[in-house]
Amino acid sequence: MLETKIRNYYAIKVTGGQETNVGLMLEERAKTNNISEIYSIIVPPNLKGYVIVEAAGPHVVKLLISGIRNVRGVAQGLVPKDDVLKMVSKKIVAPSIKEGDIVEVTSGPFRGMQAQVIKINADKGEVMLNILESAFPLGVTVPIDQVKLSKKS
């Protein structure tokens, strides 16, 4: 007889800022104690104070978290699968900038500098820029999410 494995998502309350550390400790415990009913451990970057665990049941989660530092307990109820998919899926924003536009670099070594868009590589999510504030033509390639539009061409 075939058994279908029940997979539910549980939210574990964690001390703020310690999500990554707790996620690593949970992973290590699941490996060393051979807990095969833990399917995945998710540390969502936009959800402070919680770690999501995919497991067979709440008893497995309680076994996993018992005695681990910075864990505050298990949140009531289950986390819907749709919410987990939203947290995990990468959102690709269609570029609203075009070649010739003037943009401002928002992060990295060229942060705050104005640049002109030379080429857009949507497949890689990169944009090639010519930094306007340099004394000589300086071409750089940066991720598209590190620029914001200043002026349309």
Domain residue limits, the chain: 8-88, 102-151
Q: Name the one residue in this structure whose structure tokens are 């969502």.
A: 44
| Res 4 pLDDT > 80 | no
Report the top-level CATH class of 102-151: mainly beta
Would you state the torsion angle of the CA atoms of residues 95, 101, 102, 105, taken in this order, to the nearest 10 degrees?
20
Q: Note the pLDDT of residue 150.
A: 87
Contact 122, 99 (CB under 8 A): no
Spatial separation of the C-alpha atoms in residues 85 and 123, rounded to whole Å: 22
Domains 8-88 and 102-151 share a fold: no
Does the pLDDT value for residue 8 go beyond 50? yes
Q: Would you state the structure tokens that stand for residue 125, as one six-digit string?
A: 């999510």
Confidence of residue 9 (pLDDT cuts 50, 70, 90): very high
Instruction: Characterise 61 by phi-psi region: left (phi > 0), alpha (psi -120 to 50), beta (else).
Output: alpha
Q: Is 87 exposed, middle or buried (0-12, 13-18, 19+ CB in 10 A)?
A: middle
131/92: higher pLDDT? 131
pLDDT at res. 19: 95
8-88: CATH architecture = 2-Layer Sandwich (3.30)
- Given a cut of 70, whether residue 153 has pLDDT beyond it is no
The structure tokens 């959102």 sit at 91
pLDDT in tens, 30-76: 999 999 999 999 999 888 999 999 999 999 999 999 999 999 999 99
14-31 tens-digit pLDDT: 999 999 999 999 999 999
Contact of 151 with 99, CB cutoff 8 Å: no
Residue 1 pLDDT: 47
Render pLDDT for 78-110 as a digit per residue (tens, 0 to 9).
999 999 988 887 665 555 888 999 999 998 899
Mean pLDDT computed over 120-136: 90
Provide the β-strand partners of residue 94: none
**Residue 97 confidence (pLDDT):** 86
